[in-house]
Amino acid sequence: MQRSLRHALREASRIASRRADSPQRTGTDELQKWARAHLGGRRLVLVSNREPWSHHRAADGSITAVRNAGGLTVSLDALAGAVGAAWVAHGSGSAARETADAEGRLPCPPDQPRYTLRRIWLDETDHTLFYAGAANSMLWPLCHVVFVRPRFDADAWERYREVNRRYAEAAIEEVGPGDGMVWLQDYHLALAARTLRERRPDLGLALFWHIPWPSPEVFRVLPWRSELLEGMLANDVLGFHIRGHALNFLQCVADTLEARVDFERMAIDRQGHRTWVRAVPIGVPAVEIGDLADAPSTRAAEQAWRERLGIGTAKVILGVDRLDYTKGVPQRLKAFGRLLERHPHWVGRAVFVQVGVPSRIGLPEYQAVQRQVRWEAARLQRRFPRREGQSVVLLEDSLDFRDIVPLYRLADVCAVTPLHDGMNLVAKEYVAACTDGEGALVLSPFAGASRELERAHLASPFDIDALAEAYRAALEDPAADRRTRMADLRETVLRRTVHDWAIEFLDLWQRLALRTSRSDPNPGGAG
């Protein structure tokens, strides 16, 4: 038997045996137990640019804590709470400083503290060059192949280096003098491991890349490609959501750097250091979302939305996204128009509710998509008026996650139609919220989530007729078929929660890179 096959079988049986003797739905308790048994005294520090909780001062002087609705922060919030981690992120709200101590630390979640959030401060130049410039005008369009051209700028890249250094320094402070593992999240932090490795070679370092990784043909246009890859290779483990992205990464390294790239074992050796590359698809805190969906306060909020939006007895198709050109929102609305044209019995009987979270709105591409979405929504409204309310409701707001769950409950269909997406957690959150087994998911095959959620109505956002047809099927499926599909989807989402993801990733990291010395050519028996 080949070594790689043997290794794969061993890995599968380890995970299966862990699942077999743990309850079927892995939640906080299981992750806590796992962390106690396996992490020993090591301090886990998460680092992401977006913070899980932000504080905002209202006009009347009061301060509100908002649970940010991004899929990544919602999922990692559950993980951080379960293991009592520290989490370093940018303090973004108008009341960020006054709600943290002098070092930027505050207990989170604010009402039930279980971990420490450590805020770092970014000024306007950081925002323009690091966040809007390097992260979102270079790396984001480079990695999402939707034909938006990256804009490369040397000053932005220099600031990206500098802000990554600051994130690394804050992470070192949070680890403290003892053993630690720093788990970096996403494309904002590709270079942070370099500083961490230089300053604290003893730390375990990993980066999870939550967005797609492009093919070498696309990647080679990045002027700082070698530096980006070298920065990432300072980690012990690099995670991607799907295997195709992990393989693209390996190929980009092989084409760009002097390194030994082992495609079979998915490992890269460079300058005496080994980096393992793995595809580990993230999940959502499914049990927690289900509980939230069933809470009486959520039921009341669902009813309040229904009245506020003038839904009446109409069926609701819901979209929840950042207003981003990768998310396929204009296409999704166009397809709703096509549905109403082709199947006029839905006119007045179906309402499209789109939550459009404004983010990165200073960038021209984001302003363009915002204009397009507003225009499309207004056009549909004119063409297909409804007596009781609007036929397309556009909610442009950064809603708290606790306000989104009632919308998930309200929705008969959730439309998740990105043109390209690493995973897309809205799809999984919606399914987790459908505790009554009702609801239907229309999903783009270009979202990483489609690899797992095969029982969704899959339709390409590049094919408006097909998308309209998927809406029709989702609305008109016989009840028994709809429930069977949803039951299958729920099984998938509940079988692999964010807690399973965390255990799988941390377990890999431990076995491959932490328990054994870095010079061991065959750590953990892998390979």
CA–CA gap between residue 303 and residue 246 (Å, rounded): 43
Among residues 210 and 455, whose Cβ is nearest to ligand F6P? 210
β-bridge pairing 63-67 and 53-57:
antiparallel
Question: Residues 336, 341, 342, CA angle at the centre, nearest 5°?
Answer: 100
Residues linked to residue 260 through DSSP beta bridges, in sequence order:
269
Question: Residue 186 CB, nearest distance to ligand F6P (Å)?
Answer: 5
Query: Which among 170, 242, 187, 186 is positioned nearest to 72, based on CA atoms?
Result: 186
Question: Residue 321 CB, nearest distance to ligand F6P (Å)?
Answer: 9
Question: Residue 418 CB, nearest distance to ligand F6P (Å)?
Answer: 9
Question: Residue 235 CB, nearest distance to ligand F6P (Å)?
Answer: 17
- How far is the CA of 525 from the CAs of 7, 40, 69, 87, 521, in angstroms? 8, 21, 40, 32, 9
Among residues 210 and 334, whose Cβ is nearest to ligand F6P? 210
Among residues 34 and 187, whose Cβ is nearest to ligand F6P? 187
Burial 415-441 (b: 16+ CB within 10 A, else e): bbbbbbbbbbbbbbbbbbbbbeeebbb
**What is the DSSP-derived secondary structure letter of residue 283?**
-
Question: Residue 210 CB, nearest distance to ligand F6P (Å)?
Answer: 4
Question: Residue 237 CB, nearest distance to ligand F6P (Å)?
Answer: 18
Chain positions contacting ligand F6P, by CB under 6 A: 50, 70, 72, 186, 210-211, 322, 359-360
- How far is the CA of 301 from the CAs of 296, 449, 455, in angstroms? 9, 28, 29
CA–CA gap between residue 68 and residue 118 (Å, rounded): 16
Residues linked to residue 352 through DSSP beta bridges, in sequence order:
317, 392
Residue 244, helix vs strand vs coil: helix
Task: Please give the full DSSP string across 504-527, using - where no structure is assigned.
Answer: HHHHHHIIIIISS-TT-SSGGG--
Question: Residue 73 CB, nearest distance to ligand F6P (Å)?
Answer: 6
CA–CA gap between residue 111 and residue 117 (Å, rounded): 13
Among residues 34 and 53, whose Cβ is nearest to ligand F6P? 53
330 token code pair: 């204009």
Question: Residue 398 CB, nearest distance to ligand F6P (Å)?
Answer: 9
Among residues 289 and 320, whose Cβ is nearest to ligand F6P? 320
Among residues 212 and 290, whose Cβ is nearest to ligand F6P? 212
Query: Measured at CB, which residue is nearest to ligand F6P?
Result: 359
Question: Residue 484 CB, nearest distance to ligand F6P (Å)?
Answer: 30
Question: Residue 360 CB, nearest distance to ligand F6P (Å)?
Answer: 5
Among residues 171 and 267, whose Cβ is nearest to ligand F6P? 171
Among residues 115 and 366, whose Cβ is nearest to ligand F6P? 366
Strand order in the sheet with 392-395: 392-395, 350-357, 315-322, 413-416, 440-443, 457-458
CA–CA gap between residue 29 and residue 19 (Å, rounded): 14
Among residues 76 and 506, whose Cβ is nearest to ligand F6P? 76
Among residues 42 and 322, whose Cβ is nearest to ligand F6P? 322
Residue 79 · residue 283 · CB < 8 Å: no
Question: Residue 198 CB, nearest distance to ligand F6P (Å)?
Answer: 26
- How far is the CA of 366 from the CAs of 141, 159, 177, 369, in angstroms? 12, 22, 43, 5
- How far is the CA of 484 from the CAs of 25, 294, 353, 456, 490, in angstroms? 20, 21, 25, 11, 10
Question: Residue 236 CB, nearest distance to ligand F6P (Å)?
Answer: 21
Among residues 306 and 322, whose Cβ is nearest to ligand F6P? 322
Among residues 117 and 410, whose Cβ is nearest to ligand F6P? 117
Strand order in the sheet with 267-270: 105-108, 115-120, 86-90, 43-47, 180-185, 204-208, 237-240, 273-279, 267-270, 260-262
